Structure 1
Amino acid sequence: MTTPVMLRETRHGEGDHVVELVLDRPEALNAISTAFAEQIASATRRLADDRSVRAVVLSSAVERAFCVGADLKERNGLSDAELMAQRVITRGAYGGVLALPVPALAAIEGFALGGGLELALACDLIVAGQGAQVGLPEVSVGVIPGGGGTQLLTRRVGWSRAASLIFTARRVPAQEAAALGVVDEVVAAGSARDRALELATLIAGHSPVGIRSAKRAMRLGADVDLATGLEVEDAAWRTTAFSADRQEGVSAFAERRRPRWPDV
Structure 2
Amino acid sequence: MVEQRFGQWVEVRPHARRVAELVLDRPKAMNAVSSEMAASITAACAALAADPEISVTVLTSSNDKAFCVGADLKERNSLSDAELGRQRPHARAAYTSVLDLPMPTLAAVHGYALGGGFELALACDVIVADETAVVGLPEVSVGVIPGGGGTQLLPRRVGAARAAELIFSARRVPAVEALGLGLVDEVATGDGAREAALAMADRMAGNSPVGLRAAKRALRLGHGMDLKAGLEVEDAAWRTVAFSGDRAEGVAAFNEKRTPDWPGQ
Same fold (TM over 0.5): yes
> What amino acid maps onto 1:9 in structure 2?
V
Residue number in structure 2 paired with 1:124? 125
Residue number in structure 2 paired with 1:186? 187
> What amino acid maps onto 2:88 in structure 1?
R
- State whether structure 2 residue 16 is matched by structure 1 residue 9: no
Q: Cα deviation per residue 1:66-108 (whole Å; 9 max; x = unaligned)?
A: 0000000100110112111211111111000000000010001
Give the unaligned 5+ runs of structure 2. Answer: 1-5
- State whether structure 2 residue 87 is matched by structure 1 residue 86: yes
Residue number in structure 2 paired with 1:18? 19
Residue number in structure 1 paired with 2:106? 105
- Residue 4 of structure 1: CA displacement? 5.8
Give the unaligned 5+ runs of structure 1. Answer: none
Whole-angstrom distance in 1 between the partners of 2:8 and 2:206: 30
Whole-angstrom distance in 1 between the partners of 2:146 and 2:102: 24
Do 2:67 and 2:113's aligned partners in 1 also have CA atoms closer than 8 Å? yes
Do 1:109 and 1:189's aligned partners in 2 also have CA atoms closer than 8 Å? no
Q: TM-score, normalised by structure 1?
A: 0.97
- State whether structure 2 residue 169 is matched by structure 1 residue 168: yes
The list of structure 1 runs, each at least 4 consecutive aligned residues, that deviate by more than 3 angstroms after superposition, is: none
Residue number in structure 2 paired with 1:152? 153
Whole-angstrom distance in 2 between the partners of 1:189 and 1:101: 31
* SS, match of residue 103 in structure 2: coil
> What amino acid maps onto 1:114 in structure 2?
G
Q: TM-score, normalised by structure 2?
A: 0.96
* SS, match of residue 131 in structure 1: coil
Query: What value does the CA root-mean-square deviation take over the aligned residues?
Result: 1.0
Q: Cα deviation per residue 1:121-171 (whole Å; 9 max; x = unaligned)?
A: 000000001111001000011110000000000101100110111000000
Whole-angstrom distance in 2 between the partners of 1:74 and 1:259: 50
Residue number in structure 2 paired with 1:68? 69
- Residue 189 of structure 1: CA displacement? 2.1
Q: Cα deviation per residue 1:202-254 (whole Å; 9 max; x = unaligned)?
A: 11110011100000000000021110000100111111111111110001000
* SS, match of residue 210 in structure 2: helix
* Range that drifts further, 235-244 or 32-41: 235-244
- Residue 192 of structure 1: CA displacement? 0.5
> What amino acid maps onto 1:147 in structure 2?
G
Whole-angstrom distance in 2 between the partners of 1:20 and 1:192: 13
Whole-angstrom distance in 2 between the partners of 1:113 and 1:263: 36
Whole-angstrom distance in 2 between the partners of 1:38 and 1:113: 20
Whole-angstrom distance in 2 between the partners of 1:29 and 1:91: 20
- State whether structure 2 residue 217 is matched by structure 1 residue 227: no
Whole-angstrom distance in 2 between the partners of 1:64 and 1:4: 22
Listed as ranges, the matches of 1:232-247 within 5 Å are 232-247=233-248
Whole-angstrom distance in 1 between the partners of 2:211 and 2:11: 28
* SS, match of residue 170 in structure 1: coil
